[in-house]
Structure 1
């Protein structure tokens, strides 16, 4: 899996403040929480928006998607292919 770089446009503390100490598909920037079925579905939807994915390189997007897919499988959630 690709290492995800710290983004200049994000304050990771905001993600922790908003969601608490949960698992994130992007743990570096504390983006895309994957701790509940609702968050998993939202994370999948958001990372598949072109403007959100454009903030990462292709390897980082694939890493984020892999983490979301694994969380979905763990929670027995079906997500549509991107």
Structure 2
């Protein structure tokens, strides 16, 4: 596992788009402003999207685990039930 919890910057996204669309909210991938986790609906959507093969494939294994852990933590904090991966 990475020692640094920062996720690598992706060249295929523009972080400003995520911030523009969702505002100043917490993201499971805050570097690229992907997967907002500020509401129960966003947590459920983030979990669903990150578990799609094409979305998960855009991250290395360490970054993917960090994102999933952040979504799980947000789900726990907000009382959202998600299925284990």
TM-score for the superposition, normalised by structure 1: 0.97
Give how far 1:40 is off. 0.1
Aligned counterparts of 2:28 and 2:11: Cα–Cα separation in 1: 18
Aligned to 1:34: 37
Partner-residue secondary structure (3-state), 2:35: strand
Aligned to 1:17: 20
Give how far 1:3 is off. 2.3
Aligned counterparts of 2:25 and 2:49: Cα–Cα separation in 1: 18
- Pick one of 43, 47, 50 that aligns with 1:44: 47
Q: Deviations over 1:4-59 (max 9, x none)?
A: 11100000000000000000000000000000000000000000000000000000
Q: How big is the alpha-carbon RMSD for the aligned residues of Structure 1 and Structure 2?
A: 0.9
Gaps of 5+ in 2: none
Segments of 4+ in structure 1 off by > 4 A?
A: none
Aligned to 1:78: 81
